[in-house]
Amino acid sequence: MNLLTDSILVLLILASFLLLSSSRLSNCIKTVALQGMMVGVLPLAANDSLTCRVTAIALVIAGMKGIVFPYMLFRTLRESTTIKELKPYVGYTASMFAGVVSLVASFWLDSRLHLPVAASSRLVVPVAFSMMLTGIFLIVGRRTAVNQVIGYLVMENGIYTFGLAIVRDVPLLVELGVLMDMFMAVFVMGIAIYRINREFDHIDSDQLNTLKG
pLDDT averages per 10-residue partition of the chain, 213 residues: 83 95 91 92 76 79 86 80 79 93 94 69 88 93 84 87 67 56 62 54 51 47
Q: What is the pLDDT of residue 124?
A: 87
Q: Hey, what amino acid is at 16? A: S
Using the CB atoms, write b or e for 88-121: b if 16+ within 10 Å: beeeeeebeebbeebbeebbebbeeeeeebebbb
Helix boundaries (H) for the chain: 2-21, 25-46, 52-63, 69-78, 92-113, 124-141, 145-166, 172-200
Of 40, 41, 18, 44, the C-alpha closest to 31 is 18
Q: How far apart are CA 163 and CA 161, in angstroms?
A: 5
Q: How far apart are CA 188 and CA 105, in angstroms?
A: 33
Structural contact between residues 36 and 62, judged by C-beta atoms closer than 8 angstroms: yes
CA quadruple 139, 142, 146, 147: dihedral positive or negative?
negative
Of 67, 82, 105, 50, the C-alpha closest to 183 is 67
Q: What is the pLDDT of residue 204?
A: 53
Q: How far apart are CA 40 and CA 80, in angstroms?
A: 29
Domain map of the chain by residue range? 2-200
Q: How far apart are CA 35 and CA 58, in angstroms?
A: 13
Output the pTM of the full model.
Answer: 0.82
Q: What is the pLDDT of residue 46?
A: 72
Of 43, 48, 18, 45, the C-alpha closest to 33 is 18
